[in-house]
Structure formats: C-alpha cells, structure tokens
Amino acid sequence: KAGVTQTPRYLIKTRGQQVTLSCSPISGHRSVSWYQQTPGQGLQFLFEYFSETQRNKGNFPGRFSGRQFSNSRSEMNVSTLELGDSALYLCASSLDGGQPQHFGDGTRLSIL
C-alpha cells in the first residue's frame, strides 16, 4: 500500500511569490492534515480537510490556505511568501481524522 506522497520534495522561492504544495493521501484515507516544521517553532498544525471541507484550523495567517479534491488529494497554498515561511511542510492522512495519522516525507520550502 503506497504511503502519503508529497510533491515536490524541495522548492526555492523568493519573497512575495506564492507556492502550491501537493499531498496524495493513503488510498482510502479521507482526512488530510498539514503541519509546518521549523527549528524555532517546531511542529505546528496548519489545517485539516475532510471530504473536501476544512474541518479544523490552526493559528496561521490567511496567507496559508488549502483545499481538498474529491479523490482526497490536497493542496496547500501560501501567498505573498515571507522569509519566515521557510520550513518543512508535512502532510498527514488518516481514515477519518482520528488517529493514527500517517505522515509523508514533506516538502522543504526555502525562501530567498
């Protein structure tokens, strides 16, 4: 069974640009959550999508948004990039939003 797949693995952007990250969950999983990992703030919850609806949201500005498609694949978008957005973005999927969550290998975003 394929795991959670995140693309791309690495991204380099400049300040002010926007970026879209993609996550394909484990087959049959309907919940996708996104987390940001930085050396300073650690692992922080961004949001969760279930059946194409945002069900839960962390404490991040509106520049961070996401969506989920009917096949449960999810995308995360960050607009007007700032240097502080440099991080490893992790996606996790689960059957229904409960536990356990299965993580992908992440997308490492670097802002120049």
Partner 1 sequence: AQSVTQLGSHVSVSEGALVLLRCNYSSSVPPYLFWYVQYPNQGLQLLLKYTTGATLVKGINGFEAEFKKSETSFHLTKPSAHMSDAAEYFCAVSPSGTGRRALTFGSGTRLQVQP
Run of H or E including 11: strand 10-13
Q: Which is nearer to partner 1, 17 or 56 (CB)?
A: 56
User: Is residue 110 a contact residue for partner 1 (CB under 8 A)?
Assistant: no
Residue 65 Cβ vs partner 1, minimum distance, rounded to whole Å: 17
Please provide the DSSP assignment of 31-72 as one string: EEEEEEEETTTEEEEEEEEETTEEEEE-S--TTEEEEE-TTS
Residue 16 Cβ vs partner 1, minimum distance, rounded to whole Å: 28
Q: Scanning residues 4 to 43, which ones bind partner 1 (CB under 8 A)?
A: 4, 6, 33, 35, 42-43
Q: Which residues would be at the binding site for partner 1 (CB under 8 A)?
A: 4, 6, 33, 35, 42-45, 48, 55-56, 58, 90, 92, 94, 97-106
